Every structure is written in C-alpha cells, then in structure tokens.
Amino acid sequence: MTTSVLPSRRDEAWRYSDIDAVVAAWPLPAPESIIVPAGGKFARAIVQDAGDIRQIELVLGKGAAAALHILNIGGAYGRIELAVTLHEGADFMLGAAQIGGGAQNLEIVTTVTHAEPGATSRQVVRSVLGGTATGTYLGKVAVARDAQQTDSEQDVKAMLLNRSATANAKPELEIFADDVKCAHGCAIGELDPMALYYLQSRGLPPGEAKKLMLQAFVAGVFDGAEDEEQLQALALAKLGELV
Amino acid sequence: MLKIENLHATVADKPILKGLSLSINAGEIHAIMGPNGAGKSTLSYVLGGRPGYEVTEGSVDFDGQDLLDMEPHERASAGLFLGFQYPVEIPGVSNVQFLRESLNAQRKARGLEPLSGGEFLKVAREKAALLKMDMDMLKRPVNVGFSGGEKKRNEMVQMGILDPRLAILDETDSGLDIDALRTVGDGINSIMRRPDKAVLLITHYQRLLDYVQPDFVHVLAAGRIVKSGGPELARELEEHGYAEIAA
C-alpha cells in the first residue's frame, strides 16, 4: 500500500479523493502494520472524527481472525484505507459506517487478498450522505491462484438525504482460483417517503422520523463490536446533525 | 370535534374530493361507505396530511384548530389517529421503539413528561393483550413479515397506545378473518367508544358495522357525501348496492 508517489485522480484508488487535502498531508506517514499470528484474534474500533488519512496493513496468519469496526464521520476529508492479507483459513470482518454532511468527503478503500485456501472475509459498509457530501467505498477482493474455498462477501449500501449528495460504490473482484464464493451487493437509495409519512402520522417530527430510519439503516454494522454502544451513540449523534 | 366544510382535494392534479362536508361530534361513531374510487382513502389521507394530497378549497376544523394548517406529526399530537388501509413495513425499526418515541413526542408536544421504558411497556402489554397480539410481535420491526390481518391488529394496538381523541380508520376490516374482525371490533369499542372521543370508519362492507355500531352512516360517491342516515342505511346499501342509493 505504501504510497511513495503523490497520487492523482488518475489513480483508481484515489479517483474520488480530495487531492488538495492529500497534498496538504503529504508525505503520508508509513501505514500502520498489524500482524495477527496464526490462530490469533484481533479486534479494533476506529472512529475517524477529525479529518485524517489513515492507512492500515493487516496480515492474518493461518486460522487467525480479525474484526474491524469503523465509523468515518469527521473532518472535511476522511480516508481509511485497509490492505488485508489472509492466510489459510483466516477470517476477516469489517463493519463500517460513514456519515457525512456539508461538503465532507469520506472514503473507505479496502483491498482484501485471499492469499491461501479456505479464508473468509465479510465487509458490510453503510453510508449516509447529506448536503453536498461525497461518500466512497472502493473494495477490491483478490483471490490468489491457489486460494480455493475462498468465501468472501461485500455488502454495500448508501442512503442519500439530498439530491446534491454523492455516493460512489465499487466492489471489485479479481479471482484466479476456480472454487470460490465471492458475493457482492450494492445499492444506493433514498428514504422511503411513505415510511417517513407513516412514522410522522404517529407523532414523530420529520427529523426524528428520519433519524429513526437512518439509525436502523446503519445499526447492523456495529454488531459484535466491543464498544458497540459507544459507536451507535456517536453514529446517532452524527445522524442527528444531518436530519 | 371535526367539521369538514366544502372540501375539495386533488391527487396528481386530478380532482378527487369535490365539495365534501361532514361534522362529527364527540361521542359519535360515523361510518363512510362508498364504491371503489369514490374518494374514501383520499379523504383519510387528506385528513392525515399525507404529502401529495392537495386541498384546493374548503376547510377542516379540529377542536377549534385549522387541521389543514398542521404537519402530520402535529395532527397526531392534537389527537388524530389514522389507521392505514395498507400499513407500511419499516425494516430495522422496532415497533416498541417507534411507538415509545412517537408517544413521547406527542406527550412532549402536550407539555407532559415522557413515559419511562417500564411505564411504556406496561401500556403496550395491556393494549397488545386487548387486541390478542403477541408481545413478541411488538418487538419485531414495524409490520415486517406481518400478515394482512396482523398489520391491521398492529394498527389497533398502536391506536390503543397512542390513545387518540379522533380515529380515522381506513378499511381496517379488510384482510381480517371472522375471529380477527370480532377482536378488532371489540378493540375499537373498548379504546374509542367514550363520550370525549369519536371515530370515522371507512369501509366497503356492513360486516365491521355489526361489531362497531355506527351512530351515522354516510355514502360517499364521486367525491361528495350523497346520502346520510342512521345504521339502517348500511343495511340498505348491503341489500341494494351502491348504484341504486348513490344514483
């Protein structure tokens, strides 16, 4: 992942980025490296709330498991980039929400490499965008030639609160093995006006009705996180600013 | 309580209500019957403030307030409840959380303290039992995976919890089997038949009226009330059909 040359929008992984912000932060510090040894377990929650470019390289040894939970909500530009390498039978789980308003540009960029057989990966990403904000998910799953019985899933959804907000979502598969399961789903939508009306007809003011639906939209991504309640509370507070 | 005068309304620029007038006093139950396309559901949505239902003429007074000037949530806080013909499924949002937040939003608007989780559950349990609905269903996402009958029962549980002064029930009897019809009828009587409350039942059929005896029956045809009478009018309609009466 080491970014030694200043990226431009011609680079696929930086296509929707705020290049001025990248220039201002240049040179980027070396990516954080996390190695989970064979059979090990790792879990972390990342809250990006101040505007930051964060790069993480994660290597999971044989049979290791890692769960990352990300809440990407802060600053004019917030980018979280993950490069994950899975060895035999490793298991990687990502649950992420990015919630942006104003002119925020938020992105989550992942490359998950199934280097050896029998590893599993599951990524669930939810974006909620208002104002003229941009939210991007670029997710590449690479399956090496010998990585049979790979099981990977990308579940990506975005909710636009205004017609002026933008969501980019690109799940990408690069598969060199022939006995694998790689699922990917992607949807971008708006809040259902009939559901909003139904909630309001029971007495909820419009902002509260929207908040309740958006809370439900992002709720699942923090399932199983150690600080689930805190993540939910932070997400809810941010949603409250948008509606 | 409710005074509708010369109401005209359009949906997607198409005139549907064409001069409808109706007065409902506290303590009364009114039934509106009428053929398909007469404007029955439009009337309920106009009174409930659904976006896209535009009033072009006339007025609606609810307890001295201009109902048409209020947002949907303000109408609810003022004591209006709309039972939907097609209750909406909302994945991920639990019934209990939704209803507690709704009730507390209404209480806040009326200057009352919010109910605690425990207090709310006590009310919810009581109303669910009244409508013979399993408490587990109240904890599930709003209407998701509910059968048609379960959705209508859930509407009545919501009505019981929110305790409105005026309920407009749009074809609450459709989709109900005979036992459920009796349960729902009993529920409406027990929740709403009070001297300070009123009900507007919108229905195609006489059968709900066997359980919830209306004081007045009105026939709605082509956007207007063309005939009003007592409970006997519903039986006449059942016997002779709308064509003869509405003509």
Query: What is residue A153's three-state secondary structure?
Result: strand
Using 50, 70 and 90 to split pLDDT, how confident is the model at A2? low
In this structure, are residues B31 and B233 in contact, taking their beta carbons and an 8 Å threshold?
no
Q: In the predicted model, is pLDDT for residue A52 greater than 70?
A: yes
In this structure, are residues B212 and B187 in contact, taking their beta carbons and an 8 Å threshold?
no
Rounded to whole angstroms, how far apart are CA atoms B187 and B184?
5
Q: What is the mean pLDDT of chain B?
A: 93
The contacts of residue A20 (CB under 8 Å, 6+ apart) are none
Supply the pLDDT for residue B104: 97
Q: At what angle do helices A193-201 and A206-219 cross, to 10 degrees?
A: 120
Supply the pLDDT for residue B35: 87
Mark residue B211 as left, alpha or beta (left: phi above 0; alpha: psi -120 to 50; beta: remaining): alpha
Using 50, 70 and 90 to split pLDDT, how confident is the model at A216? very high
Q: What is the mean pLDDT of chain A?
A: 96
Task: Give the chain A residue nearest B106 (alpha carbons).
Answer: A203
Using 50, 70 and 90 to split pLDDT, how confident is the model at B236? confident
Supply the pLDDT for residue B247: 58
Task: Give the chain B residue nearest A207 (alpha carbons).
Answer: B73
Supply the pLDDT for residue B206: 84
Q: Check CB contact of A97 with chain B, cutoff 8 Å.
A: no
Q: Are strands B141-142 and A41-48 parallel, antiparallel or unpaired?
A: unpaired
Give this prediction's pTM: 0.90
In this structure, are residues B57 and B23 in contact, taking their beta carbons and an 8 Å threshold?
no
Phi, psi for residue A208 in degrees, rounded to 5: -65, -40
Q: Retrieve residue A42's tokens.
A: 């790792």
Q: Check CB contact of B121 with chain A, cutoff 8 Å.
A: no
In this structure, are residues A56 and A84 in contact, taking their beta carbons and an 8 Å threshold?
no
Task: Give the chain A residue nearest B158 (alpha carbons).
Answer: A202
C-beta atoms of A216 and B91 within 8 A: yes
C-beta atoms of B102 and A199 within 8 A: yes
Lowest average pLDDT, out of A3-7, A42-46, A145-149, A230-234, goes to A3-7
Q: Percentage of chain A with pLDDT > 90?
A: 95
- Is residue B148 exposed (0-12), middle (13-18) or buried (19+ Cβ within 10 Å)? middle
In this structure, are residues B48 and A194 in contact, taking their beta carbons and an 8 Å threshold?
no
Lowest average pLDDT, out of A52-56, A204-208, B62-66, B241-245, goes to B241-245
What 8-state DSSP symbol labels residue A221? G
Q: In the predicted model, is pLDDT for residue A101 greater than 90?
A: yes
Q: In the predicted model, is pLDDT for residue A70 greater than 90?
A: yes
Residue range A106-113: mean pLDDT, rounded: 98
Residue range B79-100: mean pLDDT, rounded: 94
In this structure, are residues B153 and B183 in contact, taking their beta carbons and an 8 Å threshold?
yes
Q: Percentage of chain B with pLDDT > 90?
A: 81
Q: Check CB contact of B82 with chain A, cutoff 8 Å.
A: yes
Q: In the predicted model, is pLDDT for residue A4 greater than 70?
A: yes
Residue range B148-152: mean pLDDT, rounded: 91
Q: Convert the pLDDT of each residue in B114-127 to its tens digit.
A: 999 999 999 999 99
Rounded to whole angstroms, how far apart are CA atoms B227 and B236?
12
Cβ neighbours of A195 in B, within 8 Å: 88-90
C-beta atoms of A202 and B48 within 8 A: no
Q: In the predicted model, is pLDDT for residue B246 greater than 80?
A: no
Cβ neighbours of B141 in A, within 8 Å: 216
For residue A43, CA distances in Å to A69, A94, A124 come to: 8, 10, 16
Phi, psi for residue B142 in degrees, rounded to 5: -50, 110
Query: What is residue B98's three-state secondary structure?
Result: helix
Using 50, 70 and 90 to split pLDDT, how confident is the model at A213? very high
Using 50, 70 and 90 to split pLDDT, how confident is the model at B57? very high
Residue range B135-144: mean pLDDT, rounded: 92
Q: Convert the pLDDT of each residue in A136-157 to its tens digit.
A: 999 999 999 999 999 999 999 9
Mark residue A53 as left, alpha or beta (left: phi above 0; alpha: psi -120 to 50; beta: remaining): beta
Cβ neighbours of A200 in B, within 8 Å: 71-73, 76
Of B82, B88, B105, the CB nearest to A204: B105
Cβ neighbours of B76 in A, within 8 Å: 200-203
Residue range A50-67: mean pLDDT, rounded: 97
Task: Give the chain B residue nearest A204 (alpha carbons).
Answer: B102
Using 50, 70 and 90 to split pLDDT, how confident is the model at B175? confident
Of A195, A201, A203, the CB nearest to B90: A195
Indicate the residue type of B175.
G
- Is residue B80 exposed (0-12), middle (13-18) or buried (19+ Cβ within 10 Å)? buried
Rounded to whole angstroms, how far apart are CA atoms B84 and B89?
12
Supply the pLDDT for residue B240: 85
Supply the pLDDT for residue A1: 65
Residue range A226-238: mean pLDDT, rounded: 94
Rounded to whole angstroms, how far apart are CA atoms B139 and B98?
10
Selected residue with higher pLDDT from B240 and B74: B74
Of A195, A203, A220, the CB nearest to B105: A203
Using 50, 70 and 90 to split pLDDT, how confident is the model at B242? confident
Task: Give the chain A residue nearest B90 (alpha carbons).
Answer: A195
Q: Percentage of chain B with pLDDT > 70?
A: 99
Which of A198, A223, A232 is the best residue to mutate to test the B interface, defined by the most B CB atoms within 10 Å of its own CB?
A: A198
User: Taking a contact as any Cβ pair under 8 Å apart, which residues of chain B between 141 and 160 contact chain A?
Assistant: 141-142, 158
Nearest alpha-carbon partner for A59 in A88, A96, A95: A88
Question: What's the N-to-C CA distance of chain B in angstroms?
Answer: 30
Q: Check CB contact of A207 with chain B, cutoff 8 Å.
A: no
Supply the pLDDT for residue A3: 73
Residue range B144-158: mean pLDDT, rounded: 93
- ipTM metric: 0.95
Residue range A153-162: mean pLDDT, rounded: 96
Number of A/B CB contacts below 8 angstroms equals 78
Which of B102, B110, B154, B170 is the best residue to mutate to test the A interface, defined by the most A CB atoms within 10 Å of its own CB?
A: B102
Alpha helices in B63-215 (DSSP H): 72-77, 95-109, 117-130, 135-139, 148-162, 178-192, 207-211
Q: Check CB contact of A195 with chain B, cutoff 8 Å.
A: yes
